[in-house]
């Protein structure tokens, strides 16, 4: 979706210190303790959520939370681990 220039908002729901060590370029960080703020979420774009890996359920829980508040969401399958394994760019 990013390569095709689709209107998405990438949201990293991992802990702030892990986000600081590396994240998907352009992603905003919204760790669980800040979900209630909805800071950085967009209602005019699909919010693509990701966490650590396919066994991490933070992104799925965030998707339920944010969708329940009217935000369009989808989960990046495999999380940040799959992103890195695919050798895509990582921003610090």
pLDDT digits (tens, 9 = 90+) for 9-63: 999 999 999 999 999 999 999 999 999 999 999 999 999 999 999 899 999 999 9
Residue 65 belongs to a domain: yes
- What per-residue confidence (pLDDT) applies to 51? 97
Task: Check residue 68 and give its pLDDT.
Answer: 97
Q: Would strands 8-12 and 46-50 be described as parallel, antiparallel, or unpaired? A: parallel
The parent domain of residue 32 ranges over 8-85
Cα–Cα distance measured from residue 3 to residue 1, given in angstroms and rounded to the nearest whole number? 6
Examine residue 31 and state whether it is found in any structural domain, yes or no. yes
Residue 1 resides in a domain: no
User: What confidence tier does 1 reach under pLDDT thresholds 50, 70, 90?
Assistant: confident
Domains held by the chain: number: 1
Tell me, yes or no, if the pTM score tops 0.85. yes
Instruction: Kindly state whether residue 48 falls inside one of the protein's structural domains.
Output: yes
The DSSP code for 60 is H
């Amino acid at each position: 979706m990013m390569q095709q220039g689709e209107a998405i908002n990438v949201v990293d729901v991992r802990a702030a210190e892990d986000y600081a060590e590396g994240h998907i370029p352009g992603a905003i960080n919204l760790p669980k303790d800040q979900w209630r703020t909805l800071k950085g979420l967009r209602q005019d774009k699909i919010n693509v959520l990701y966490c650590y890996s396919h066994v991490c359920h933070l992104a799925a829980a965030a998707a339920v939370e944010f969708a329940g508040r009217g935000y369009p969401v989808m989960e990046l399958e495999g999380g940040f681990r799959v992103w890195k394994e695919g050798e895509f760019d990582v921003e610090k």
